[in-house]
Amino acid sequence: MICPGIAFARATNSATVAAGSGGAVAVGFYDFRAACPNGGSAILPTNRGRANTCIGLTLQAYRDLGSTLTPAGGNVLVSRHLWDPYQPGQTRGGISQLACESPSAGCQDIFIGDYFSLQVSALNIYVLSSSTFPPSRVIGDDGGQIHYQQQILTTVARNHLGL
């Protein structure tokens, strides 16, 4: 889901798919369905509790049975923290730090990282995705740590997804 009024410049692969041994297939995608958390510096105050704004990482597992692909349970939100694509809301040296697709005063196209991949091993599923949590060590003009987009490696046990 996309927030009204803002266009998200999504990576060319807004979902990622991988297969592993034993007919395991996993699909990872950015999920906007959960409301933003109500606290913490990782979520801008204007977005706290807001629906269809913050992003989580969700996995859907399947079993490849040769002639059919069968879901192994439902969607599983595997993010430890939802992240706010409107971060960083801080400036540094008076310059906005928000990840814009193209430089414009209003930043109408928020860029969501372009590295999104998934691998399935014998025991785990590994997903490399974007997040603005945790904060960086860079201090913004407001004296707070800046929440830049960064790459996060999430590891999920296959058995947690029914694989």
* Burial letters 111-124, b for 16+ CB under 10 A, else e: bbbeebebebeeeb
Give the count of domains, the chain: 1
Q: Is residue 106 part of a domain?
A: yes
Q: Is residue 1 part of a domain?
A: no
Q: Is residue 11 part of a domain?
A: yes
Burial of 14 (0-12, 13-18, 19+ CB in 10 A): exposed
Domain housing 25: 7-161
Residue percentage of the chain with pLDDT more than 90: 72
Q: Is residue 83 part of a domain?
A: yes
pLDDT tens per residue across span 130-148? 999 999 999 999 999 999 9
pLDDT tens per residue across span 91-137? 999 988 888 877 666 677 778 877 899 999 999 999 999 999 999 99
Q: Is residue 30 part of a domain?
A: yes
